Amino acid sequence: MIRGLLSVLFVLVTVAVSSSLAKPEKNIAKRGKRIPQTLSRGWGDQLIWAQTYEEALYWARAQNKPLMVIFHLEDCPHSSSMKKAFAEDKDIQKVLNEDFIILNLVYETTDKHLSPDGQYVPRIIFVDPSMTVRADITGRYSNRMYAYEPSDTQLLLSNMQKAKKLLKSEL
Amino acid sequence: MIRGLLSVLFVLVTVAVSSSLAKPEKNIAKRGKRIPQTLSRGWGDQLIWAQTYEEALYWARAQNKPLMVIFHLEDCPHSSSMKKAFAEDKDIQKVLNEDFIILNLVYETTDKHLSPDGQYVPRIIFVDPSMTVRADITGRYSNRMYAYEPSDTQLLLSNMQKAKKLLKSEL
Protein backbone atom coordinates (compact mmCIF):
# COMPACT_ATOMS: atom_id res chain seq x y z
CA MET A 1 0.00 0.00 0.00
CA ILE A 2 1.60 3.14 -1.23
CA ARG A 3 1.11 6.71 -0.07
CA GLY A 4 3.71 9.41 -0.79
CA LEU A 5 2.79 11.30 -3.94
CA LEU A 6 -0.84 10.57 -3.27
CA SER A 7 -0.78 12.56 -0.07
CA VAL A 8 0.67 15.52 -1.96
CA LEU A 9 -1.98 15.06 -4.61
CA PHE A 10 -4.63 14.98 -1.94
CA VAL A 11 -3.64 18.40 -0.65
CA LEU A 12 -3.75 19.78 -4.18
CA VAL A 13 -7.08 18.16 -4.89
CA THR A 14 -8.55 19.46 -1.67
CA VAL A 15 -7.45 22.96 -2.53
CA ALA A 16 -8.59 22.63 -6.12
CA VAL A 17 -12.09 21.30 -5.61
CA SER A 18 -14.68 23.81 -4.61
CA SER A 19 -17.64 22.72 -2.55
CA SER A 20 -19.95 24.24 -5.10
CA LEU A 21 -19.18 21.54 -7.66
CA ALA A 22 -22.07 19.51 -8.96
CA LYS A 23 -22.50 16.12 -7.35
CA PRO A 24 -22.41 13.16 -9.74
CA GLU A 25 -25.61 11.84 -8.14
CA LYS A 26 -27.46 14.61 -9.88
CA ASN A 27 -26.88 12.74 -13.13
CA ILE A 28 -28.53 9.61 -11.83
CA ALA A 29 -32.06 8.99 -12.97
CA LYS A 30 -33.98 7.35 -10.16
CA ARG A 31 -35.45 4.79 -12.52
CA GLY A 32 -35.16 3.87 -16.15
CA LYS A 33 -32.04 3.96 -18.30
CA ARG A 34 -29.38 6.53 -17.83
CA ILE A 35 -28.14 8.47 -20.82
CA PRO A 36 -24.42 7.67 -21.12
CA GLN A 37 -22.25 10.65 -20.17
CA THR A 38 -20.40 12.24 -23.07
CA LEU A 39 -16.91 13.73 -23.17
CA SER A 40 -18.22 16.76 -25.04
CA ARG A 41 -20.73 17.58 -22.28
CA GLY A 42 -22.55 19.63 -24.89
CA TRP A 43 -19.63 21.86 -25.97
CA GLY A 44 -19.53 20.24 -29.43
CA ASP A 45 -20.82 16.69 -29.82
CA GLN A 46 -19.20 16.36 -33.24
CA LEU A 47 -15.71 17.20 -32.01
CA ILE A 48 -13.10 14.79 -30.67
CA TRP A 49 -12.40 15.58 -27.02
CA ALA A 50 -9.47 14.52 -24.89
CA GLN A 51 -10.53 12.93 -21.60
CA THR A 52 -7.73 14.11 -19.32
CA TYR A 53 -5.12 16.88 -19.23
CA GLU A 54 -2.33 14.32 -19.65
CA GLU A 55 -3.98 12.98 -22.79
CA ALA A 56 -4.59 16.48 -24.14
CA LEU A 57 -0.95 17.51 -23.60
CA TYR A 58 0.22 14.35 -25.31
CA TRP A 59 -1.89 15.07 -28.40
CA ALA A 60 -0.97 18.76 -28.48
CA ARG A 61 2.69 17.78 -28.71
CA ALA A 62 2.21 14.82 -31.00
CA GLN A 63 0.11 16.78 -33.49
CA ASN A 64 1.79 20.15 -32.89
CA LYS A 65 -1.57 21.79 -32.29
CA PRO A 66 -2.58 24.26 -29.61
CA LEU A 67 -4.74 22.97 -26.77
CA MET A 68 -7.91 24.69 -25.57
CA VAL A 69 -8.99 23.83 -22.02
CA ILE A 70 -12.51 24.81 -20.98
CA PHE A 71 -13.33 24.83 -17.27
CA HIS A 72 -17.03 24.83 -16.55
CA LEU A 73 -19.74 23.47 -14.26
CA GLU A 74 -22.92 21.70 -15.25
CA ASP A 75 -25.03 23.71 -12.78
CA CYS A 76 -23.55 27.13 -13.55
CA PRO A 77 -25.81 29.41 -15.65
CA HIS A 78 -22.82 31.37 -17.02
CA SER A 79 -21.22 28.10 -18.14
CA SER A 80 -24.47 26.95 -19.72
CA SER A 81 -25.09 30.11 -21.70
CA MET A 82 -21.47 30.20 -22.90
CA LYS A 83 -21.69 26.52 -23.85
CA LYS A 84 -24.78 27.15 -25.96
CA ALA A 85 -23.15 30.02 -27.86
CA PHE A 86 -19.94 28.02 -28.23
CA ALA A 87 -21.63 24.86 -29.52
CA GLU A 88 -23.78 26.81 -31.98
CA ASP A 89 -20.92 28.89 -33.41
CA LYS A 90 -20.02 27.13 -36.65
CA ASP A 91 -16.76 29.05 -37.10
CA ILE A 92 -15.50 28.14 -33.63
CA GLN A 93 -16.51 24.50 -34.07
CA LYS A 94 -14.86 24.31 -37.49
CA VAL A 95 -11.53 25.79 -36.35
CA LEU A 96 -11.52 23.57 -33.25
CA ASN A 97 -12.16 20.50 -35.37
CA GLU A 98 -9.33 21.29 -37.75
CA ASP A 99 -6.66 22.96 -35.69
CA PHE A 100 -7.05 22.33 -31.96
CA ILE A 101 -6.77 19.67 -29.30
CA ILE A 102 -9.70 20.23 -26.96
CA LEU A 103 -10.53 19.34 -23.39
CA ASN A 104 -13.41 20.37 -21.15
CA LEU A 105 -13.23 19.79 -17.41
CA VAL A 106 -15.71 20.10 -14.55
CA TYR A 107 -12.89 19.51 -12.04
CA GLU A 108 -9.69 21.42 -11.60
CA THR A 109 -6.39 19.72 -12.39
CA THR A 110 -3.45 19.77 -9.98
CA ASP A 111 -1.58 22.16 -12.33
CA LYS A 112 -1.84 25.66 -10.92
CA HIS A 113 -0.70 27.14 -14.25
CA LEU A 114 -4.18 26.45 -15.57
CA SER A 115 -5.63 28.97 -13.11
CA PRO A 116 -3.46 32.08 -13.60
CA ASP A 117 -5.99 34.32 -11.86
CA GLY A 118 -8.21 31.85 -10.01
CA GLN A 119 -10.42 28.83 -10.50
CA TYR A 120 -13.65 30.47 -11.62
CA VAL A 121 -15.89 29.09 -14.37
CA PRO A 122 -16.37 29.36 -17.20
CA ARG A 123 -12.78 30.02 -18.21
CA ILE A 124 -10.86 29.12 -21.32
CA ILE A 125 -7.11 28.62 -21.26
CA PHE A 126 -4.86 27.98 -24.25
CA VAL A 127 -1.74 25.84 -24.04
CA ASP A 128 0.94 25.89 -26.73
CA PRO A 129 2.21 22.51 -27.99
CA SER A 130 5.54 23.50 -26.42
CA MET A 131 3.63 22.92 -23.13
CA THR A 132 3.49 26.63 -22.32
CA VAL A 133 0.25 28.00 -20.88
CA ARG A 134 -0.70 31.04 -22.99
CA ALA A 135 -1.50 33.35 -20.10
CA ASP A 136 -1.17 36.21 -22.61
CA ILE A 137 -4.36 35.20 -24.45
CA THR A 138 -7.16 36.75 -22.45
CA GLY A 139 -10.79 37.80 -22.71
CA ARG A 140 -12.19 41.26 -22.01
CA TYR A 141 -12.72 41.13 -18.23
CA SER A 142 -9.87 42.43 -16.12
CA ASN A 143 -11.06 40.71 -12.93
CA ARG A 144 -11.50 37.34 -14.64
CA MET A 145 -9.10 37.43 -17.49
CA TYR A 146 -9.95 34.03 -18.99
CA ALA A 147 -13.72 34.32 -18.79
CA TYR A 148 -15.89 34.65 -21.88
CA GLU A 149 -19.54 35.46 -22.26
CA PRO A 150 -21.88 34.48 -25.12
CA SER A 151 -21.35 37.91 -26.71
CA ASP A 152 -17.58 37.27 -26.80
CA THR A 153 -17.51 34.56 -29.47
CA GLN A 154 -15.77 36.84 -32.00
CA LEU A 155 -13.07 37.66 -29.45
CA LEU A 156 -12.71 33.99 -28.65
CA LEU A 157 -12.33 33.18 -32.34
CA SER A 158 -9.66 35.83 -32.68
CA ASN A 159 -7.89 34.43 -29.61
CA MET A 160 -7.98 31.01 -31.23
CA GLN A 161 -6.19 32.51 -34.22
CA LYS A 162 -3.56 33.90 -31.83
CA ALA A 163 -3.14 30.49 -30.22
CA LYS A 164 -2.59 28.95 -33.66
CA LYS A 165 0.55 31.07 -34.06
CA LEU A 166 2.77 28.64 -32.18
CA LEU A 167 5.42 29.92 -29.84
CA LYS A 168 8.10 27.56 -31.09
CA SER A 169 7.38 26.31 -34.54
CA GLU A 170 10.48 24.12 -34.56
CA LEU A 171 9.19 21.84 -31.82
CA MET B 1 3.52 32.57 -20.31
CA ILE B 2 4.27 30.04 -17.66
CA ARG B 3 6.45 26.95 -17.78
CA GLY B 4 7.83 25.36 -14.61
CA LEU B 5 5.55 22.59 -13.43
CA LEU B 6 4.49 22.02 -17.00
CA SER B 7 8.00 20.98 -17.99
CA VAL B 8 8.04 18.46 -15.17
CA LEU B 9 4.64 17.26 -16.28
CA PHE B 10 5.91 16.95 -19.82
CA VAL B 11 8.67 14.56 -18.77
CA LEU B 12 6.15 12.47 -16.85
CA VAL B 13 3.71 12.48 -19.74
CA THR B 14 6.41 11.49 -22.20
CA VAL B 15 7.41 8.59 -20.01
CA ALA B 16 3.83 7.63 -19.36
CA VAL B 17 2.47 7.57 -22.88
CA SER B 18 3.31 4.56 -24.97
CA SER B 19 3.58 4.94 -28.72
CA SER B 20 1.13 2.08 -29.14
CA LEU B 21 -1.78 4.18 -27.91
CA ALA B 22 -4.71 4.59 -30.22
CA LYS B 23 -4.81 7.84 -32.15
CA PRO B 24 -7.92 9.94 -31.65
CA GLU B 25 -8.26 10.27 -35.42
CA LYS B 26 -9.35 6.67 -35.50
CA ASN B 27 -12.60 7.78 -33.93
CA ILE B 28 -13.32 10.25 -36.70
CA ALA B 29 -15.82 9.14 -39.29
CA LYS B 30 -14.79 10.53 -42.66
CA ARG B 31 -18.28 11.72 -43.39
CA GLY B 32 -21.59 11.80 -41.61
CA LYS B 33 -22.22 12.43 -37.95
CA ARG B 34 -19.86 11.26 -35.28
CA ILE B 35 -21.21 9.31 -32.35
CA PRO B 36 -20.41 11.38 -29.24
CA GLN B 37 -17.67 9.77 -27.15
CA THR B 38 -18.85 8.37 -23.82
CA LEU B 39 -17.08 8.36 -20.47
CA SER B 40 -17.99 4.69 -19.98
CA ARG B 41 -16.24 3.68 -23.21
CA GLY B 42 -18.33 0.52 -23.05
CA TRP B 43 -17.35 -0.61 -19.53
CA GLY B 44 -20.85 0.06 -18.19
CA ASP B 45 -23.02 2.64 -19.95
CA GLN B 46 -25.45 2.73 -17.03
CA LEU B 47 -22.81 3.61 -14.45
CA ILE B 48 -21.65 7.08 -13.42
CA TRP B 49 -17.99 7.51 -14.37
CA ALA B 50 -15.52 10.07 -13.15
CA GLN B 51 -13.71 11.88 -15.98
CA THR B 52 -10.31 12.43 -14.40
CA TYR B 53 -8.22 10.98 -11.58
CA GLU B 54 -8.53 14.23 -9.62
CA GLU B 55 -12.32 14.06 -9.85
CA ALA B 56 -12.34 10.37 -8.90
CA LEU B 57 -10.15 10.98 -5.82
CA TYR B 58 -12.39 13.82 -4.75
CA TRP B 59 -15.50 11.63 -4.92
CA ALA B 60 -13.83 8.67 -3.22
CA ARG B 61 -13.05 10.89 -0.26
CA ALA B 62 -16.30 12.80 -0.26
CA GLN B 63 -18.44 9.66 -0.41
CA ASN B 64 -16.02 7.43 1.53
CA LYS B 65 -16.12 4.83 -1.22
CA PRO B 66 -13.26 2.87 -2.77
CA LEU B 67 -12.14 3.88 -6.25
CA MET B 68 -11.63 1.44 -9.10
CA VAL B 69 -9.35 2.64 -11.90
CA ILE B 70 -9.37 0.66 -15.16
CA PHE B 71 -6.51 1.23 -17.59
CA HIS B 72 -7.27 -0.03 -21.07
CA LEU B 73 -6.83 0.70 -24.78
CA GLU B 74 -9.50 0.85 -27.43
CA ASP B 75 -7.42 -1.19 -29.91
CA CYS B 76 -6.22 -3.84 -27.47
CA PRO B 77 -7.96 -7.24 -27.88
CA HIS B 78 -7.28 -8.18 -24.24
CA SER B 79 -8.89 -4.92 -23.11
CA SER B 80 -11.86 -5.50 -25.40
CA SER B 81 -12.56 -9.04 -24.23
CA MET B 82 -12.21 -8.03 -20.58
CA LYS B 83 -14.50 -5.05 -21.20
CA LYS B 84 -17.19 -7.29 -22.67
CA ALA B 85 -17.11 -9.70 -19.71
CA PHE B 86 -17.02 -6.76 -17.28
CA ALA B 87 -19.95 -4.89 -18.85
CA GLU B 88 -22.06 -8.05 -19.06
CA ASP B 89 -21.45 -9.17 -15.46
CA LYS B 90 -24.53 -8.01 -13.57
CA ASP B 91 -22.97 -8.60 -10.14
CA ILE B 92 -19.92 -6.48 -10.94
CA GLN B 93 -22.05 -3.72 -12.43
CA LYS B 94 -24.42 -3.74 -9.45
CA VAL B 95 -21.67 -3.51 -6.83
CA LEU B 96 -19.90 -0.78 -8.80
CA ASN B 97 -23.11 1.19 -9.06
CA GLU B 98 -23.78 1.01 -5.34
CA ASP B 99 -20.41 1.03 -3.66
CA PHE B 100 -17.63 2.34 -5.91
CA ILE B 101 -16.30 5.46 -7.55
CA ILE B 102 -15.16 4.40 -11.01
CA LEU B 103 -12.79 5.74 -13.63
CA ASN B 104 -11.55 4.25 -16.88
CA LEU B 105 -8.54 5.74 -18.63
CA VAL B 106 -6.90 5.18 -22.01
CA TYR B 107 -3.96 7.38 -20.94
CA GLU B 108 -1.68 7.01 -17.98
CA THR B 109 -1.78 9.60 -15.22
CA THR B 110 1.34 11.25 -13.84
CA ASP B 111 0.96 9.26 -10.57
CA LYS B 112 3.40 6.37 -10.62
CA HIS B 113 1.57 4.69 -7.74
CA LEU B 114 -1.09 3.68 -10.25
CA SER B 115 1.42 1.45 -12.04
CA PRO B 116 2.99 -0.61 -9.23
CA ASP B 117 4.40 -3.17 -11.69
CA GLY B 118 4.21 -1.37 -15.03
CA GLN B 119 1.84 0.37 -17.40
CA TYR B 120 0.33 -2.60 -19.22
CA VAL B 121 -3.36 -2.87 -20.14
CA PRO B 122 -5.85 -3.97 -19.14
CA ARG B 123 -5.12 -3.44 -15.47
CA ILE B 124 -7.41 -2.64 -12.56
CA ILE B 125 -6.17 -0.74 -9.53
CA PHE B 126 -8.14 -0.04 -6.37
CA VAL B 127 -7.62 3.11 -4.31
CA ASP B 128 -8.91 3.43 -0.76
CA PRO B 129 -10.81 6.65 0.13
CA SER B 130 -7.88 7.39 2.46
CA MET B 131 -5.99 7.99 -0.87
CA THR B 132 -3.93 4.82 -0.50
CA VAL B 133 -3.39 2.70 -3.60
CA ARG B 134 -4.38 -0.88 -2.69
CA ALA B 135 -1.32 -2.57 -4.20
CA ASP B 136 -2.25 -5.60 -2.08
CA ILE B 137 -5.35 -6.34 -4.14
CA THR B 138 -4.08 -8.31 -7.10
CA GLY B 139 -5.23 -10.70 -9.82
CA ARG B 140 -3.81 -14.14 -10.53
CA TYR B 141 -0.87 -13.34 -12.79
CA SER B 142 2.48 -12.92 -11.06
CA ASN B 143 4.09 -11.08 -13.99
CA ARG B 144 1.18 -8.62 -14.35
CA MET B 145 -0.33 -8.47 -10.93
CA TYR B 146 -3.21 -6.11 -11.74
CA ALA B 147 -4.30 -7.78 -14.97
CA TYR B 148 -7.61 -9.62 -15.27
CA GLU B 149 -8.95 -11.85 -18.01
CA PRO B 150 -12.62 -12.52 -18.86
CA SER B 151 -12.45 -15.78 -16.86
CA ASP B 152 -11.39 -13.77 -13.76
CA THR B 153 -14.67 -11.97 -13.10
CA GLN B 154 -15.30 -13.96 -9.89
CA LEU B 155 -11.84 -13.06 -8.60
CA LEU B 156 -12.44 -9.44 -9.54
CA LEU B 157 -15.73 -9.45 -7.67
CA SER B 158 -14.04 -10.90 -4.61
CA ASN B 159 -11.31 -8.23 -4.89
CA MET B 160 -14.04 -5.60 -5.02
CA GLN B 161 -15.35 -6.97 -1.73
CA LYS B 162 -11.81 -6.65 -0.29
CA ALA B 163 -11.61 -3.05 -1.49
CA LYS B 164 -14.92 -2.30 0.22
CA LYS B 165 -13.29 -3.08 3.59
CA LEU B 166 -11.84 0.36 4.02
CA LEU B 167 -8.38 0.81 5.46
CA LYS B 168 -9.39 3.62 7.77
CA SER B 169 -13.06 3.56 8.51
CA GLU B 170 -12.83 6.65 10.69
CA LEU B 171 -11.92 8.88 7.74
Cα dihedral B13, B16, B17, B21, rounded to 10, equals: -150
A45 contact B CB<8A: yes
Buried b (16+ CB within 10 A) or exposed e, A109-144: bbbbbbbbeeebbbbbbbbbbbbbbbbebbbeeeeb
pLDDT for B171 beyond 80: no
pLDDT value, residue A8: 45
B159 contact A CB<8A: no
pTM of the predicted protein model: 0.84
> Which member of A1, A105, A135 has the closest CB to residue B133?
A1
| pLDDT category of residue A28 using cuts at 50, 70 and 90 | very low
- Average per-residue pLDDT in chain A? 87
pLDDT for A149 beyond 90: yes
Residues A50-79 have pLDDT tens digits of 999 999 999 999 999 999 999 999 999 999
The whole-number average pLDDT for the span A134-146 is 98
Contact A46 B55 (CB under 8 A): no
B38 contact A CB<8A: yes
Complex-level ipTM beyond the 0.85 threshold: no
pLDDT value, residue A129: 97
Å between B9 CA and nearest CA of chain A: 8
pLDDT value, residue B29: 47
Residues A97-114 have pLDDT tens digits of 999 999 999 999 999 999
Contacts of A1 in chain B (CB under 8 A): 128, 132-136, 167
pLDDT for A80 beyond 50: yes
Contact A57 B13 (CB under 8 A): yes
Q: Find, among A153, A139, A124, A25, the residue nearest to A66 by Cα.
A: A124
Q: In sequence order, what DSSP letters do the residues of chain A get, joined into one string?
A: -B-THHHHHHHHHHHH--TTSPPGGGG--SSSPPPPPBSSTTS-TTS-B-SSHHHHHHHHHHHT--EEEEE--TT-HHHHHHHHHHHH-HHHHHHHHHH-EEEEESS--S-GGG-TT---SSEEEEE-TTS-B-TT---S-TTSTT---GGGHHHHHHHHHHHHS-S-TT-
| Cβ–Cβ pairs < 8 A, chains A and B | 156
Provide the pairing of β-strand B67-71 with B123-127. antiparallel
Between B5 and B156, the higher pLDDT residue: B156
pLDDT for A169 beyond 80: no
Instruction: Give the integer Cα–Cα distance in Å for B125 and B56.
Output: 13
Instruction: Give the integer Cα–Cα distance in Å for A26 and B13.
Output: 33
Contacts of A125 in chain B (CB under 8 A): none
